[in-house]
Structure 1
Amino acid sequence: MDIKDIKKNAKERMKEFCILCPECNGRWCAGKVPGMGGAGNGGSFNRTYEKLKEVKVAMRTLHNVSDPKLSCSIFGEDLSFPAMIAPITGTKFNMGGYVNDVEYSNDVVLGALDAGTIAMVGDTGDPNCFAAGIDAIKKANGKGIAIIKPRENSEIIKRIKIAEEAGAVAVGVDVDGAGLITMKLFNQPVGPKSLNDLKEIISSTTLPFIVKGILTVDEAKLCVQAGAAAIVVSNHGGRCLNETFAPAEVLKEIATAVGDEIIVLADGGVREGVDILKYLALGAKAVLIGRPIIWGSIGGRQEGVKVVLETLKSQLYQSMILTGAEDVKNYKNFSCILYTK
């Protein structure tokens, strides 16, 4: 199975939920939430893609980097390259239902392990989805991360305990899900979190805690103050609020402000390996992969997920050779290869 077969299969199986456009920029699927699109007219989704596209790298080939190092460590876990799978749920109402949430969770958690990395599993209005992710983490002997919606604190803490019992590597909350329409459709209350809320949640666990959905320096600093281990610079794929900044627009400022105090991850618009390089150059320690993983699961199941990740890893390797980037652990030095429009 190769990446072309996977995409062909996925296009046939996604029942017009996603037609795998030649340029996956959110225009065709605009407003399809639930579904694969962005909120409103899809502007935030499109901006996330376009602003990352506007970031350019300088090709350099007069150097001695012939075998760049891609491996890194996040939360004490050795990864074959600086990418993890983003938390995604709701296969029936978001992806067309060719695979169910149990199958999808197993595909991504085990496929990530096959590729030498780890997956995040998500939460949604249907409680069976979170349970499916937790079960997949158990099958992987704890090699996974549980991300929970910004519910009432007591409900979040309850789910954190479930993740702890499964042996999860880390836990977190995607705070940008505070206005997600799919939660409202299931009558599941979510909302913003105060600094005290965050402190209460983080103090309830000894696991590394991730706050996903940060777009400003001030909120990044609040996460440091609350004791979080990591943040994900993300706008939830543009699926919650239209007219937001793109992660690529704000990442450098955030990483400069807090990157020495907290792990900074980035999410949104990654379609090929050079996109990973761009986010590293902007200050992220690693990235999250979303949409291509969906194609991998639906188009090729666990093997498809592995193939997608291995393809991205191979592309990153080539991109590093052709820009003179020697080691992903030295990502702070990658700024020398970066240009913005």
Structure 2
Amino acid sequence: MDVKTIRESAREKMKGFCRLCNTCDGRACAGEVPGMGGAGTGAAFMENLRALASVKLHMRTLHDAKNPDLTVELFGQTLQAPIMGAPITGASYNGGGAISELEMVTAIVQGSAEAGLIGWGGDGADPTMYHSGLEAIQKTGKGLTCIKPRSQAAIIERIEEAEKAGVTAISVDVDGAGLVTMALKGQPVGPKTKEELAELVKATKLPFIVKGIMTVDEAIMAAEAGAQAIVVSNHGGRILDHTPGAATVLPEIAHELQGKIKIFADGGVRNGTDVLKYLALGADAVLVGRPIMQAAFGGGTEAVKTVMEKYKAELHQAMIVTGCRTIKDITPEILY
């Protein structure tokens, strides 16, 4: 299965919902929320890609980094690269429903695992979304779960379900507080205080991740609340119009917290070189979202694996021509 075939299949199955643009930058689908687009003008969606595109790299070829080692250790898992399948829900109302929620999340979690990586399950207005993710993780044997910022009791209930399913780590995507789709379905979500975060961290012995951090002060709050990791993310630009891109705010967050907690990043990742850029800006690992959702529609588990293998190969090549022997060698020094 090749990427061209996957894209053609996905374009047919997602017809009327996703255009599978040659450059997936949010221009064609701006304002389509629910749907595949960014909020309002789509500026925040587009800014994720623009911010990454503005990052330039030093090309170096006089060195001995001939066969880079991409492996990393993360929450007790050895990954073949610091790349993860992002938590995605909404196969029906965002993607058109050609595949079920369970089929989509299984493709993401299982396909990521088969590529030697790890995938996330997500949460949404329909309870089957969250439980589909847990089912996929349980079958695969590893995976992270992400819970919407519901009431404390509702989150703790889902944490307990996740622990029984054997998830690797638990996350709450606090940026989901502004999701239109949750509001439309009558699901109460909202911001969390530092004290509420601390309560959630204490509710599990598993690693706890706060997803949706875009400022230094909130990154510090998450760390002080006991979180083991954060995800620098503007929720793909689907929550608030006119935010900066994740690549713009990541360096100052990493400067403050790198080495103290794990820092992940997502938003606008379209190839392995984008992964390299996020790592050089301070991320410990990178989440890939939209491309693997499209892959799940285009060919299920095998397609997600194919796309993830492509990202790994592109990262490997980018490390060679920037002189990076290992992931630890990917530092701001490779940036122009």
Question: Could you tell me the TM-score, scaled by structure 2's length?
Answer: 0.99
Which aligned runs of 4 or more in structure 1 are off by greater than 4 angstroms? none
Match of 2:296 in 1: 297
Match of 1:187 in 2: 186
Equivalent residue of 1:213, what SS? strand
Distance 1:267 1:69 in 2: 22
Contact 1:72 1:329 in 2 (8 A): no
Deviation at 1:330, TM superposition (A): 3.4
Equivalent residue of 1:93, what SS? coil
Match of 1:91 in 2: 91
The amino acid that maps onto 1:80 is Q
Equivalent residue of 1:84, what SS? strand
Distance 1:3 1:33 in 2: 27
Match of 1:41 in 2: 41
The amino acid that maps onto 1:153 is Q
Match of 2:219 in 1: 220
Distance 2:122 2:184 in 1: 17
The amino acid that maps onto 1:240 is I
- Correspondence 1:137-216 to 2 at 5 A: 137-141=137-141, 143-216=142-215
- Correspondence 1:1-341 to 2 at 5 A: 1-141=1-141, 143-331=142-330, 334-339=331-336
The amino acid that maps onto 2:127 is P
Identity %: 52
The root-mean-square deviation of aligned C-alpha atoms, in Å, is 0.8
Distance 2:291 2:328 in 1: 24
The amino acid that maps onto 2:188 is P
Distance 1:25 1:63 in 2: 35
Q: Residue by residue, what CA displacement relative to the aligned partner does 1:287-335 show, whole Å, maximum 9, x if unpaired?
A: 000011012111111000000000000000000101111101333xx21
Deviation at 1:16, TM superposition (A): 2.3
Deviation at 1:19, TM superposition (A): 1.2
Question: Could you tell me the TM-score, scaled by structure 1's length?
Answer: 0.97
The amino acid that maps onto 2:101 is D
Distance 1:71 1:300 in 2: 26
Distance 2:56 2:328 in 1: 21
Question: What is the number of equivalent residue pairs in this alignment?
Answer: 336
Equivalent residue of 1:57, what SS? coil
The amino acid that maps onto 1:217 is V
Q: Residue by residue, what CA displacement relative to the aligned partner does 1:95-142 show, whole Å, maximum 9, x if unpaired?
A: 11111101111111111110001111100111111011111111112x
Structure 2: runs of 5+ lacking an equivalent: none
Deviation at 1:20, TM superposition (A): 1.4
Distance 2:135 2:37 in 1: 28
Distance 2:326 2:57 in 1: 16
Deviation at 1:255, TM superposition (A): 0.5
The amino acid that maps onto 1:296 is A
Structure 1: runs of 5+ lacking an equivalent: none
Q: Residue by residue, what CA displacement relative to the aligned partner does 1:166-189 show, whole Å, maximum 9, x if unpaired?
A: 010000100000010010011000
Distance 1:306 1:228 in 2: 30
The amino acid that maps onto 2:51 is K
Deviation at 1:264, TM superposition (A): 0.3
Equivalent residue of 2:93, what SS? helix
Distance 1:324 1:18 in 2: 38
Contact 1:75 1:169 in 2 (8 A): yes
The amino acid that maps onto 1:16 is G
Contact 1:57 1:337 in 2 (8 A): yes
Distance 1:271 1:140 in 2: 25
The amino acid that maps onto 1:43 is A
